[in-house]
């Protein structure tokens, strides 16, 4: 109730990113379970929990792990934008386009995994993330 609509608009892409990450986690769990039931796991070192998964499970794992790489910079950015009251329509639009690029990247990663599709989605996200950080820095220090 204390949140203004603006803060909710700023935080909404974070919630979307978290939900997407959780969906990927469930996809990963499903694919690992499927691989386990089919006997498709190669044990490399059971004591160290090192296994070689079939491609469809490994893709989901890599996609899940990828959600803790550049998105961490987004997770750090949003609270700073809220705390410094530098949020505006441009930030919200950039944040949603950033999320769309992350969603596209994850969908490609978990399906056909074509680098020719995945890399542009990744690059767009990185460029948008850099732009949002530069905009914050300019607003704070210019």
Give 131's pLDDT tier (boundaries 50, 70, 90). Answer: very high
Map residue 85 onto helix, strand or coil: coil
- Position 128 pLDDT exceeds 70: yes
Write down the H helix ranges in 1-142: 5-37, 55-66, 71-83, 89-110, 115-141
b/e map of 60-86 (b: 16 or more CB within 10 Å)? Answer: bbebbebbeebbeebeebbeebbeeeb
DSSP annotation of 50 reads: E
Taking only the tens place, the pLDDT of each residue in 8-62 is: 999 999 999 999 999 999 999 999 999 999 999 887 766 667 789 999 999 999 9
CB 131 within 8 A of CB 94: yes
pLDDT of residue 1: 46
Question: Whose structure tokens read 């803790």?
Answer: 68
Give 72's pLDDT tier (boundaries 50, 70, 90). Answer: very high
- What residues does 42 pair with on adjacent strands? 52
Maximum distance among all alpha carbons in the chain? 59
Region 82-106 average pLDDT: 96
pLDDT of residue 46: 67
CB 77 within 8 A of CB 132: yes
Question: Whose structure tokens read 């039931």?
Answer: 37
- Position 102 pLDDT exceeds 70: yes
- Position 114 pLDDT exceeds 80: yes
* Average pLDDT along the chain: 93
Region 70-90 average pLDDT: 96
């Amino acid at each position: 109730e204390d949140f203004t609509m603006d803060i909710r608009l700023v935080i909404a892409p974070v919630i979307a990113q978290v939900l997407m990450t959780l969906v990927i986690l469930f996809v990963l769990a499903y694919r690992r379970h499927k691989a386990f039931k089919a006997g498709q796991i190669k044990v490399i070192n059971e004591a160290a929990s090192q296994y070689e998964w079939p491609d469809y499970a490994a893709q989901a794992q890599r996609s899940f792990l990828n959600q803790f790489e550049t998105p961490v910079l987004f997770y750090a950015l949003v609270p700073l934008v809220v705390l410094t009251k530098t949020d505006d329509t441009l930030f919200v639009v950039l944040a949603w386009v950033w999320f769309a690029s992350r969603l596209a990247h994850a969908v490609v990663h978990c399906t056909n995994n074509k680098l020719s599709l995945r890399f542009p989605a990744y690059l767009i996200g990185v460029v948008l993330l850099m732009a949002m950080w530069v905009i914050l820095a300019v607003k704070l220090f210019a």
